[in-house]
A = this chain, B = another copy of it.
Amino acid sequence: MRKNKYAIGIDVGATVIKVGLVKANGKIVSKNSFSTKRAIAKNDLIEEIIKQIKQLKQKNSLSNKDLVGVGIGFPGCVDYAKGIVHDLTNIKGWKNVPLKKILQKRLGLLVSVDNDVNAFAQGQLIWGVARKIKNAICVTLGSGVGGGLIINGAIYRGSNYSAGEVGHICIDIDGPRCGCGSNGCLEAFVGNTYIIKRCIEKIKKGEKTILVSMVGGKLSKIKPDLMHKAAKKGDRFSINAWKDLGTYLGVGLSGLVNVLNPEKIIIGGGVSKAGKFIFEPLKKELIRRTMKQHLKILKIVKADFADEAGVVGAASLAMKVKR
């Protein structure tokens, strides 16, 4: 990308859609976000995206020739080559939408569309902790467990753009039911919703934790950020919940490391903010389970760009950066 040009990144999340104007060095110079609720139908979302891009251009006094293009990360299966979004569970009518084609016509700009975790991984590859890395496993921890693979210095998308479903490795043959229809999947152990569900069950069984007073007894208000606060205050219950998460994650990722032999595991996503409470047990379990040869070169690191990793990653899709 030419140094004086910009890319627009759009990160479509389950609750919020983030929009950012990103410079050739990966820095966000202008941003906005809106509730996914404002896009309850297919056309709403398309119109909202177009509106946001226009606003971003106006606000920063840019015209199309100042932009290399637009990158969009979607949660779900996206045909990256054709720019077709195959499904988008939260928004009505999203089934095989040729979004790239629609938006390119409307905007007069190059548009790249990809799965959100692939976009996240691409951002790490161009500007973040995966720079100069040949092989890495990127994981986002949130309501689900997302995965993006870097293989031979590029995003690996699989044979029909469905690669990277790290959350659906079975770590326990007799484990709990997973949303995907299988059971014992990593996601059923470390996904946001499952963690909180297990915590509430334990509290109801009589386990003690300061979380109860923190939510004024309303257990449904327990969220990962509160569990992180509680852990920092020394709450044994919360520390153990994070320890379980890190350990389970280590079980799943150890197998993947043994198969893919990467240089880095890159962890991002909202839940990863719990930092050392997850990373320490994760590393311990990985060391215990991963083969010696593989451990020699493996590093476990936090993703760059924190809450902006999605939007920076989306913008990176639009970049023509040669590595």
Set of chain B residues within 8 Å of A263, measured between Cβ atoms? 159
B256 touches A162 (CB 8 A): no
B251 touches A163 (CB 8 A): no
B163 touches A260 (CB 8 A): yes
Complex CA gap A259/B139 in Å reads 12
What count of chain A residues pass the 8 Å CB interface test?
52
B293 touches A160 (CB 8 A): yes
Interface stretch among A15-23, A91-99, A144-152?
A144-152
Set of chain B residues within 8 Å of A149, measured between Cβ atoms? 259-260
A255 on the interface (CB 8 Å rule)? yes
Scoring A77, A293, A296 by chain B CB atoms within 10 A of each residue's CB, the highest score goes to: A293
Whole-angstrom distance from the CB of A132 to the nearest CB of chain B?
Answer: 12
**If the complex has contacts A170-B171, A170-B251, A171-B173, are A147 and B293 also in contact, measured as CB distance less than 8 A?**
no
Whole-angstrom distance from the CB of A78 to the nearest CB of chain B?
Answer: 11
- A-side binding surface: helix, strand, loop or mixed? loop
Nearest B residue to A136 via CB reads: B159
**If the complex has contacts A170-B254, A180-B291, are A160 and B261 also in contact, measured as CB distance less than 8 A?**
yes
Complex CA gap A77/B86 in Å reads 41
A101 on the interface (CB 8 Å rule)? no
A89 on the interface (CB 8 Å rule)? no
A71 on the interface (CB 8 Å rule)? no
Scoring A159, A165, A293 by chain B CB atoms within 10 A of each residue's CB, the highest score goes to: A159
Set of chain B residues within 8 Å of A260, measured between Cβ atoms? 149, 158, 163
A interface residues with partner B (beta carbon < 8 Å): 77, 86, 134-135, 147, 149, 151-152, 156-166, 168-175, 180-182, 184-185, 248, 251-252, 254-256, 258-263, 288-291, 293-294, 296-297
Q: A135-B159, A158-B294, A170-B171 are in contact. List 9 more A-B contacts (CB 8 A).
A: A77-B293, A160-B293, A160-B297, A161-B261, A163-B259, A165-B258, A165-B259, A172-B172, A173-B251
The 10 closest A-B pairs by CB, nearest first: A158-B261, A169-B255, A165-B258, A163-B261, A182-B289, A168-B258, A162-B293, A162-B261, A159-B263, A135-B159
Pull 16 A–B residue pairs with CB atoms less than 8 Å apart, ordered by A.
A134-B159, A147-B259, A152-B156, A159-B261, A159-B263, A159-B297, A160-B297, A164-B261, A165-B258, A168-B258, A172-B174, A181-B289, A182-B289, A182-B290, A184-B251, A252-B255
